[in-house]
Amino acid sequence: MVHNRYLLQWVQEVAELRQPENIYWCNGSKEEYHALMRQMVEKGTAIPLKKRPNSFLFRSHPSDVARVEDRTFMSTVSRDDAGPTNNWIAPNELKSTMVNLYRGCMRGRTMYVLPFSMGPLNSPFARFGVEITDSPYVVCNVHIMTRVGNKVLNALGSSENFVRCLHSVGVPLSPGQKDTAWPCRPVEQKYISHFPEENLIWSYGSGYGGNALLGKKCFALRIASFMARKEGWMAEHMLLLRLISPEGRCYHLAAAFPSACGKTNLAMIQPTIPGWKAECLGDDIAWMHIGPDGRLYALNPETGFFGVAPGTSWKTNPVMMQTLWGNTIFTNCALTDDGDVWWEEMTPELPEHLIDWQGQDWTPASSRKAAHPNARFTVSITQCPALSPDWDNPEGVPIDIIILGGRRTTTIPLVFEAYSFEHGVFLGVTQSSETTATLGQVGNLRRDPFAMLPFCGYHMGDYFAHWLNMGTRLGNKAPRIFYVNWFRKSPDGRWLWPGYGENSRILKWMCERVENKVEAIATPIGLMTSLEDLDLRGLDIPSQDLRELLRVDESAWRTEVKDIERHFAQFGDRFPEELRKQLKELRERLGMH
């Protein structure tokens, strides 16, 4: 029985508007998950995979394959509070539009009420949500990605303090009408709307990923970042990793990278340096707070991985490949003739025949991709063989190092350290990456502060000020901040650094800097390592390549400064003066007057 009157009243209001055929309260049991999956198999939406136990393949509609940034809205009373990086619509106007779309949108469908927790239930830092959806696919994914069901209801008790998450695919069914395998609306009718001042998320028209699994980017980043600023903590788009030295010392790292920059690979790194070990704590989101000892602590609010499949392989990420042995939901991957999934770069050799992500025959002669570039897997974090025993520690883990980075073929060296926490915030604010196919034209430079550009729930100028404020509160206990670039190329287009497990050599240098075991070289952009201080044993890289990886191209950096100035200008009078001071100091170090 549900006794929370706030929740009961809200569910009743939603049902009256949406007019579902049934209302089902999700209990979070394994039996519930399997029953919903059987239902989707019978309907033809889910394809069981013979090769992987309890695993299923889904194919979405071609118009519903990724997050849609231009259909994602931040609705605050004042337009200024949303800031220049968010799509803003006034709350009354947006709600009026969406209420009309929601009216009767669940006719002929079941309305699922799914209580969930972001963060361990016994953690003081957990936050609760309830998602109402008409998609069993969404329910099954949220089962994997968060803690769900009766245990959450019990923890919530009679409190009204939960994020209200409304979702619908937006396709009502008339009596006797046959449903489609993947119901959704055309792109221009999709809405992913956030009302941070009301702890409210309304999503309509998409059944895919972050548009529909509302605990993920919508709650855990956009709404949580707004909450965190108000409450004095941080919700960040960061992986969490524990490195263990041969002496048994544990270092905890949080790292922010834009998409296609190796975030999940780093979260599951297998160090190539003898004696060093790594444990995964999370691959996507970190909630960070200041602990009783004055240090910064982080926890991963999720319980699963919702990862990009193409490019994941035994070479790039063997730990993830082991994680996917079974109990996995695959979306928009290709299907092999023997009942397994396949995606580009998964195997060195191409299969002779596949059924592609749209259900069509595919051979190596086909001109199209077999899997969609944004094909995904959803799998429990507990299947990860490199999982840290502290992954669900209710207090989190103390952060020693924050890493920033992006995909840059020139200009940015392999690694450098910020001069101070404030300088580190400057590096985060200016963070950049060359765009990949998923983000528009390949090779364009996109500034993506702290990899939060699509996910910050309020004015980014205020967000930068919050980072600076956290640094002030942390004082000399603040983590050290480093910037990395695994993607630098030679003038003739070769990758200069092997990446993957070899990145542990750079992480080791960071740990040695934390321990003050190695000196650093002051440069105009930050503190650099000497070649002698990098552990390169067993690595065969030409010395000229190593020199190029660590070269500070001052001329290129002077061009970079001009782009940073343009970037800063968009944030207006909410932009912190301390960061303008950091830019002035960089100009001076580069000899620009």
Residues designated as active site: 261
The one-letter amino acid code at 255 reads: A
What span, in angstroms and rounded, lies between the C-alpha atoms of 221 and 213? 13
Q: Could you identify the residue written with the tokens 């055929």?
A: 21
The one-letter amino acid code at 288 reads: M
CA distance to 232, 374, 530, per residue, from 514 (Å): 26, 37, 16
3-class secondary structure, 130: strand
What span, in angstroms and rounded, lies between the C-alpha atoms of 203 and 169? 8
What span, in angstroms and rounded, lies between the C-alpha atoms of 373 and 270? 25
Which ranges of 157-248 would DSSP assign to H, the alpha helix? 209-212, 224-231
Tokens representing 140 are: 């099954």
Tokens representing 308 are: 């990009």
Sign of torsion over alpha carbons 56, 177, 112, 219: positive
Which ranges of 216-295 would DSSP assign to H, the alpha helix? 224-231, 263-267
19-57 burial, b if ≥16 CB within 10 A, otherwise e?
Answer: bbeebebbebeeebbeebbeebeeeebbbebeebeebbb
What span, in angstroms and rounded, lies between the C-alpha atoms of 106 and 117? 25
Inter-residue contact 526 to 513 (CB < 8 Å): no
